[in-house]
């Protein structure tokens, strides 16, 4: 059966933070960051169809709530689209609440897709402002780049052109924590702040088209995340012991990743940690953060 032309299907990727440094606290309740985001090939799918109202249905490991970022993205655009609605079916593959940016990616994709679906005249600057109001990690998902440095709240972005394609092994332990990101940031201790030099280093490596080494990977939220997730420290130790490799936290976690030399090494590493609970995925880079049309 062919779909009516008025429907749209788009895919939107996950991210890891190859490096995340917290520089200090800000007056607005946020923290000043220096981070390198990288788009990775785990994708959520959004299917848009005509409807009078804005409605959302979610398939996968979560349910659609009123504060879902996709609905909030739609509501942010609605003043520019009087009388328009859409039925959005969100199919989740990106693990939820893992530090892989799934909710932010869905929100960025919803802003891009709905502004096209409703034929809105909305500039990239306006979309970026709306994205930043939805969450500090949303604006990166508007970029046509595979990696970017994020400063300020993580939302002032510089694309890293030249970044090579990478192969990652991502382990997602079965831990969850309500209001995780805010709790982990507020558990930070001043000794865990750093100066942004690590971010500058890895950005230099990526701009030259080189693959980063294990010593370039860093996450300043890791000590606070281990205090917040009681079992994260022992899970991380088990990953390192079983694989003999270095694993780094993504975002506020609890997902951890290993940057593999190639697909063969990635498969070997994934097999070595297969006995641990949770999910382990071998994932290539995604070509860009911004969502792509399937039709
Ligand atoms: O922007 P987002 O809603 O994703 O952030 C959730 C919470 O994480 C914020 O309310 C804030 O407490 C914390 N945060 C922070 N500094 C950042 C990003 C997030 O303190 N750069």
CB of 135 within 6 A of ligand 1: the answer is: yes
Q: What is the model's pLDDT at position 62?
A: 72
| CB atoms inside a 10 Å sphere around CB 69 | 19
Three-state DSSP class for 160? coil
Per the CB < 8 A criterion, the answer to whether 23 and 195 are in contact is: yes
Q: What is the model's pLDDT at position 220?
A: 98
Rounded to the nearest angstrom, the distance between the alpha carbon of 185 and the centre of ligand 1 is 7
Q: What is the pLDDT along the chain (295 residues), one digit of tens a residue?
A: 544 458 999 999 999 999 999 999 999 999 999 999 999 999 999 999 999 999 999 987 677 776 799 999 999 999 999 989 999 999 999 999 999 999 999 999 999 999 999 999 999 999 999 999 999 999 999 999 999 999 999 999 999 999 999 999 999 999 999 999 999 999 999 899 999 999 999 999 999 999 999 999 999 999 999 999 999 999 999 999 999 999 999 999 999 999 999 999 999 999 999 999 999 999 999 999 999 998 7
Q: What is the model's pLDDT at position 82?
A: 92
Q: What is the model's pLDDT at position 6?
A: 84
CB of 30 within 6 A of ligand 1: the answer is: yes
Query: 157: closest CA among 143, 170, 175?
Result: 143
Which runs of consecutive H residues, i.e. helices, occur in the chain?
Answer: 69-77, 102-117, 124-134, 180-186, 197-207, 222-228, 232-243, 263-272
This prediction's pTM: 0.96
Active site residue 137: yes
Query: 243: closest CA among 227, 223, 260?
Result: 260
- Greatest alpha-carbon span in the chain: 60
């Amino acid at each position: 059966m062919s779909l009516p032309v008025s429907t749209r299907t788009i895919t939107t990727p996950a991210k890891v933070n190859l490096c995340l440094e917290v520089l200090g606290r800000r007056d607005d309740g946020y923290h000043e960051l220096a981070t390198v985001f990288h788009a990775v090939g785990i994708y959520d799918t959004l299917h848009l169809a005509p409807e009078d109202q804005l409605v959302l249905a979610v398939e996968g490991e979560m349910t659609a709530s009123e504060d879902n970022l996709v609905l909030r993205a739609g509501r942010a655009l609605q003043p520019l689209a009087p009388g328009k609605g859409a039925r959005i079916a969100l199919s989740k593959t990106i693990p939820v609440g893992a530090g892989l940016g799934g909710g932010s990616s869905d929100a960025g994709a919803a802003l891009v897709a709905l502004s096209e679906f409703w034929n809105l005249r909305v500039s990239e600057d306006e979309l970026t402002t709306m994205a930043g109001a939805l969450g500090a990690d949303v604006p990166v998902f508007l970029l046509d780049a595979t990696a970017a440095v994020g400063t300020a709240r993580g939302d002032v972005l510089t694309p890293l052109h030249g970044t090579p394609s990478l192969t990652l092994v991502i382990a997602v332990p079965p831990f969850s924590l309500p209001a995780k990101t805010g709790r982990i940031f507020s558990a930070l201790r001043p000794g865990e702040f750093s100066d942004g030099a690590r971010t500058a280093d890895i950005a230099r490596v990526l701009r030259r088209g080189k693959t980063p080494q294990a010593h370039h990977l860093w996450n300043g939220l890791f000590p606070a995340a281990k205090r917040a997730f009681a079992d994260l420290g022992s899970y991380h130790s088990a990953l390192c012991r079983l694989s003999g490799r270095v694993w780094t936290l993504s975002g506020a976690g609890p997902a951890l990743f290993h940057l593999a030399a190639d697909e063969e090494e990635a498969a070997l590493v994934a097999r070595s940690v297969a006995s641990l609970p949770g999910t382990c995925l071998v994932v290539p880079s995604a070509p860009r953060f911004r969502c792509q049309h399937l039709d």
